[in-house]
Amino acid sequence: MDTFLRYAITFLLGTCLLVISSRVQAQSPLLERPITLRLYDEKISDILDEIARLGNLNFSYNSSIVDENQITDLVLINRPIKEALMLLFKGTIQYKIKGQYVILQKANFPTNTWFSISGVISDELNGKKITNASIYDKKSLTSAISNTLGLYKIKLSRRYLPIRLSISSSGFYTEYIWIRNATDLTLNFSLKPIPVRQVNKLILPFDDNDFPTIQEKTDTIIAPQLPQVTIIRTERNDADNSNEEVFPIFIEDNSQVEGFWKKLKKQFDALMVNRSQHIHAQNVTDTLYRNTQVSILPFLGTNKLLSGSITNNVSLNLIGGYSGSVEKLEIGLGLNIIGKTTKGFQLAGVGNIVGQKTGGLQVAGLFNTNLGSVDGISIAGGSVHSWQQVKGLQATGLLNIIHKDLTGVQLSGGINIAGTLNQGGQIAGLANFVFKESNGLQLGLLNFAHKVSPRGKQIGLLNIADSTASTPIGFLSLVGGSVGYKRLEALIDEGQGANFYFKTGVPKFYNIFTLGYNFIRTKNTVNLGYGFGRAYNLNRNWMANSDLTASIILEQRDAISYNIGTFFKLGIGFEKQAAKYSSITFGPLLKALIVDKANSSYANGRPFQHIPTYSPLRHNDVFTLWFGFEMGIRLLQR
């Protein structure tokens, strides 16, 4: 019995509470009833049904006025229904109340469509006025900048109410404020400084003392006047943001180069990017997104003055365009300028400029400039310049430059330049340069590297390195330091001819340039040739060489004509160091001479008679093979 009595009392009390609650809610003005809901990616029709259920009312409207299938979000915590309608329709709908029905109708807009917010922005700690602070609405992209007195004025449209204004400056935490009514206001802000170690100071190309700042106009429909100004401050956003050098042009301190580049970049910014855009790009830390932007000039487009902070999926530019980032596609007849990153396809008639990272495909008729790194492919008809690292491919008709590391590939019809490291490959029609270390391939007519690592390889007509741990392959290789091999030789052979050799490269493979002259013979001979060889260390003071050379040899017939032949030498030489920079050398040779019958005369006997002066191994009218020797002095590499 007691249990039954307790249940009965509980039921009666609950019923009374429900009746009292419903009466209180019924007595409240219909649109003042508070509701709490969290809805994401829902149709407007479903959101209205949920509001009607929570507020114990009904909505009546024409489907031509309300787009029932529009998808949106709505979050309210204990706020009146009228505020939900304002957030949902942004003032484009007005309403009438009849009993429990709320009738939605198209709003009649007032003629006064704009209102202004103005005031002063100062430092919270010392009260100093903040110059070049950004005040902006990320929804409409309307913005303004404070002047040298900290004064700002921003002109806003009723259409975008409620408006969440952001107040941001480099070196300060960002403040946010909600503007819920279209009334001219004076609002002052005090920004809290970020600790000095986190500050990235803004340096501007010139001062601006103009006030008010540039105001933007928006041709849009506006909302009706709301009854009262409501301003709600929200929390700050605290989450911001060798011994001998053959070609001694390598510079350890590149601060002058960096200073020149920064000065050039600053001048370009002043020319191509609006000053306000530049300031906003430094100040704004919010993520701003627009699916598509269209520009006539970098400072004249749908991204407005906040373009440096906006991410677009698609960017279309006539003369030039400017975006913070582009995710998918950017096409321009002139210049495409991206302050941060691009991940998709970028095509420009003149040039592409990216501030931080290129991750997709970049194609330009004249040039590509990447102030950060290239992880994708950058192709230009003229030049490609990257400041940080290239992990992908740089391809150009004339000039590729990377100021720091190359871990990908540079491909050029002209010249490739890598500032610090080549860990991938450089292939050029003319020349490749690496001013620190090459740990990859260099293939071109001219290859230069300050240092070539064991995994590096130089293959070209002319190879130059201050030091190398690998073997360069080419017509002429110049290597400095103790690893280089250089010899200048003066020798005499078995025919009493004088021979001069210049050998350069590394001990494992060096080039030989040779000049020979015999003035003892009745008919003088001169030969000019080229070859290659290898050196072997025997002990502290002894070395050996194996050399192969081929020469054009001329025998004077008379004052104006010569017999012509081809002269080969294959020899083994021994070198005994006699002094610090000199040695004596000697060794046997196997020699061969082939007469060019078409350019020689047999009228007075066989050309090159008495070569050698003793019986050869083999001899006929066009071919002679014999053993010989050479001995002389070598000057060693210093």
How much is the average pLDDT of 266-273?
62
Please check whether residue 423 is in contact with residue 435, taking contact to mean a CB–CB distance below 8 angstroms.
no
Where does the pLDDT of residue 258 fall: very low under 50, low under 70, confident under 90, or very high at 90 and above?
low
Q: Which residue has the higher pLDDT, 180 or 205?
A: 180
Please check whether residue 388 is in contact with residue 403, taking contact to mean a CB–CB distance below 8 angstroms.
yes
pLDDT value of position 217: 35
Where does the pLDDT of residue 415 fall: very low under 50, low under 70, confident under 90, or very high at 90 and above?
very high
How far is the first Cα of the chain from the last one, in angstroms, to the nearest whole number? 117
- For the stretch 199-236, pLDDT in tens is 444 333 333 333 333 333 333 333 344 333 333 343 34
Where does the pLDDT of residue 560 fall: very low under 50, low under 70, confident under 90, or very high at 90 and above?
confident
Nearest to 378 by CA among 365, 366, 360: 360
Please check whether residue 37 is in contact with residue 49, taking contact to mean a CB–CB distance below 8 angstroms.
no
Domains 26-106 and 485-636 fall in the same CATH topology: no
pLDDT value of position 44: 87
Instruction: Kindly list the domain boundaries of the chain, sorted by start residue.
Output: 26-106, 114-233, 255-464, 485-636
Q: Identify the architecture of domain 26-106 in CATH.
A: 3-Layer(bab) Sandwich (3.55)
Distances (CA, A) of 478 to 83, 242, 436, 503, 634: 80, 14, 16, 10, 18
Q: How far is CA 478 from the centre of its chain?
A: 33
What burial letters (b/e) apply to 506-521, b meaning 16+ CB within 10 Å? bbebbbbbbebebeeb
pLDDT value of position 554: 94
Q: Give the C-alpha separation, 235 to 231, whole Å.
A: 13
For residue 633, the cross-strand partners are 490, 584
pLDDT value of position 379: 95
Helices (H), 362-496: none
Where does the pLDDT of residue 197 fall: very low under 50, low under 70, confident under 90, or very high at 90 and above?
low
pTM of the model: 0.67
Domain 114-233: homologous superfamily in CATH: Carboxypeptidase-like, regulatory domain (2.60.40.1120)
Considering the domain 485-636 in this protein, what is its CATH number? 2.40.160.20
- For the stretch 332-354, pLDDT in tens is 999 999 888 999 999 999 999 99
Distances (CA, A) of 351 to 84, 347, 383: 48, 8, 9
pLDDT value of position 473: 95
Where does the pLDDT of residue 27 fall: very low under 50, low under 70, confident under 90, or very high at 90 and above?
very low
Average pLDDT for the chain: 82
SS3 label, residue 187: coil
Nearest to 464 by CA among 252, 242, 243, 248: 248
pLDDT value of position 476: 95
How much is the average pLDDT of 371-392?
91
